[in-house]
Structure 1
């Protein structure tokens, strides 16, 4: 049906006129439109059923209507007070503007303020959501205000701007609170030895210093596991097996994986021990949940992977059972003799804004919410002074744009953020040991475990 044919020319003219002036969307007494103050239907107390051209009033040089026909096709030529007077509906709020942080916003206009959304409402009030953001200017300012005594500096990372703290704790971390199985892992005590004041395993063995960016996917539990295992393959094979193991293999194929919602460390290490993994070139990391594409094989060639060039390996890369370290000294000796280890820490809001220095949790973080995160401990050092500040050197998994080129330093010896509570490692089954491993070898230093 052609609805245009049911309008008289002056009704069409009025529709255009009113649409341009925005009058029809307002209550009759809207002060923003003093040229058409009304009232209309109310002034003659007339509301008609169906379409009745006589049920009209003059507005400017045309007519507006108080009949119910305009409801049927949502015509814009009804009188401004038709809904309020004839239908008894409350008048819409008057159009207005909001002044917010030195800028004016129109009625119903929205804007983003970091991770929160603000909307201009009635009576010039700007209402905003109240989520805690990962970072903001106040947090960075407060940390830097006390940086000389705190020991580290903060800055706004654009990657985190506009994100809520809940998003950060869920998607930028990913290690679930250590389970009983992690806490009860076999502990290794290292024999006493001379420990230097400074040591960096990456420099000492020439390890790959590339920093993985886990993206917005809670996978630190698997990224840190495969990164530590990769380092140890290089160390224990004397650089014959330099490989970057695939976190995606575990992420997609482990039965107890929760994808981007996080996972337990014992799941990752058990998968490495029981099944082994392929290299990252064969199964590239993709920061999202995907279906497992490797089934019923532990053969690199059958899995469609290119064989390594330095050794005739056919088996997947696997490790012995994971073990934990007891204390600061044990951790240092383990790194110095066997390569980087995996550490779990509590992450508070201020850690996201870390830029450089020796980190410790500060009172500048106004939220007590925290999450668990797994990182690679690659070494240690001291900052000279009257009271030397001891620190760990750790590789994060947020890309090299964060922190000190992807690394950070954190207080050592005081269990800052529980960094020394859950420290894990495993012995890799390098190619020369594969036959021995198949006979059930558990590692050359098993007699040191308690």
Structure 2
């Protein structure tokens, strides 16, 4: 009937319609992709066709193997409860379900997979390895559902995430020895956002004279904060009158402003929560060109931001920590005392355990995996999810701004 259904395995009969579950994927450098499965019902046979998850197109199983240590022994069939390997079937993934009935949709078993939180940023030592690196990481992600890679647009970093420092060290070793890829590791950056606190005016005159025609554009504008719940986080308004800036140049001014929005005005992070109102300007009938107003708009915007009490917003996260009950005080004290966090609740659980719920700045939790391990002797675990943004304290903002190496805004 095409409706998704949970499945109760019947290990008693090899004659029922086949259902099998892929619980591990391996990538062998000589054999290729290996999907390790357990037969839950019926019999999986070599040179047969089965259906995959909710797919309506059958996939072909060519060969079947039993695992015997490092050896693979080819076999004709696997019965209920048996574990075996299907090689070289690209459609199969971790947690795939194989079945015999295209009219049914089987829900894979709900496996408690922890969210990978510990991260390191990586850069290729040899940029020619970019394509090879992407393919190798994809294969490792297929093998390990607790390992992911993400490209963080706000910081420009490629981040590998796993269950801890040792886990990622193993990943780096695999990349080096299996795929001959050398990586440089760096701490992950926090995705701050730039914003402003007050209204301010900005101005810039762009004038460039070369041998022939010159470039001229002059822009006056005002910036003002937008409400935090504004859906776009940015508005651009033309308030000029009398044609001081011809309408055809407004998109150029907005283009210059948006260049700063993306790359930041004072700390290198995206700028949000700003309304820009172009109030006046001047043009030249010959020398005014689009490129001149892009530059003038960009510089006038940066000028206004510098006067508008620029501020950094930092991400806060919900963190839920499970640990031995006798460590509750130490953990709560660490969160509230040294991490600028706020403990929201703490409860004792059966079995001498406790759970602590708190919110804290992400910047203070970058090494929390190792710190929690130290406090609890390796018996603690935690989950973390984005909550909201808050203004960064002045001392920390000063450190972040001081470490910013600006790209030259001067494109005169």
Smaller-chain TM-score range?
under 0.3
TM-score (norm: length of structure 2): 0.24
Higher relative CO (CA 8 A, sep ≥ 6), structure 1 or 2? 1
Which structure features the higher share of strand residues? 2
Give the number of the structure whose alpha-carbon radius of gyration is greater.
1
TM-score (norm: length of structure 1): 0.22
